[in-house]
Structure 1
Amino acid sequence: MKVDQKGHTITIKDTQGDIASFLMKVTHQYKTFEKHNIVIDLLSYNELTLTDVKPFMPLSKLHKKAKKSFVIVISDFDYNAIPDTLTVVPSLLEAHDIIEMEEIERDLGF
């Protein structure tokens, strides 16, 4: 697991190639990241399904309840199948754009 901090955002990238153990590590170390916006970088995976991504939902809900952004980055995915509780985008640039927009919305009180 590789963690990069840039401003108020932390990008967490899986380096093991096992999504289940990656999710477990992120969950166990969540207290370290809870005060930042989180980008989960899954670009190294070629074929992920909704079943692979759904386990991130509880973490996403918890983080969004704390008024922080939680964005998952997957390059090739059926974005229409994603539930509203998850934010999934195709690139890191788009993830940072989403976070900026959500920060502005929170500042405005939405």
Structure 2
Amino acid sequence: MIVEKTELATIFKIEKLSIDDFYSDFSKKYANFKNENIIIDFSKLKRVDIENILVFLPIVKEWRNNGMSFVIVLNEIETDILPDEMNVVPTLVEAKDIVEMENIERDLGF
């Protein structure tokens, strides 16, 4: 797992792990990033099952309840079959755009 901190968000990139292994590793560490926007970049993966992404739903809900953004980058999945609470986009640029928009909405009190 590669972790990159920016002013906007902390970006987690998967290396050679499976999503299950990544989730296991991430779930042990994510509490250290509670006050940060999170982007998980799975854009290099092929053939990802929706079940693999849905394991992140409890964390996504927790982040949204804490007033932070949580976005997953995944270019090979139909996003309309995912729950509305999950932000899944095909590129890292779009993920950053979503975090910026959500930051603006929070600043304006939406």
- TM-score normalised by L of structure 1: 0.95
State the alpha-carbon separation in 2 of the partners of residues 46 and 21 from structure 1: 16
**2:8·2:37 contact (CA, 8 Å) conserved in 1?**
yes
Unmatched tracts of structure 1, length 5 or more: none
Q: Is it true that 1:52 corresponds to 2:52 in the alignment?
A: yes
Question: Identity of counterpart residues, as a percentage?
Answer: 35
Aligned to 2:64: 64
Q: Deviations over 1:6-47 (max 9, x none)?
A: 103000011133111111111110122111100011112111
AA matched with 2:26: V
Q: Is it true that 1:83 corresponds to 2:86 in the alignment?
A: no
**1:17·1:45 contact (CA, 8 Å) conserved in 2?**
no
For these two proteins, the number of residue pairs brought into alignment is 110
State the alpha-carbon separation in 1 of the partners of residues 16 and 33 from structure 2: 20
Q: Is it true that 1:35 corresponds to 2:22 in the alignment?
A: no
**2:12·2:40 contact (CA, 8 Å) conserved in 1?**
yes
Q: Is it true that 1:14 corresponds to 2:14 in the alignment?
A: yes
Unmatched tracts of structure 2, length 5 or more: none
**1:16·1:22 contact (CA, 8 Å) conserved in 2?**
no
AA matched with 1:73: V
Q: What is the Cα-based RMSD across aligned positions, in Å?
A: 0.9
Structure 1 residue ranges, 4+ long, deviating more than 4 angstroms after superposition = none
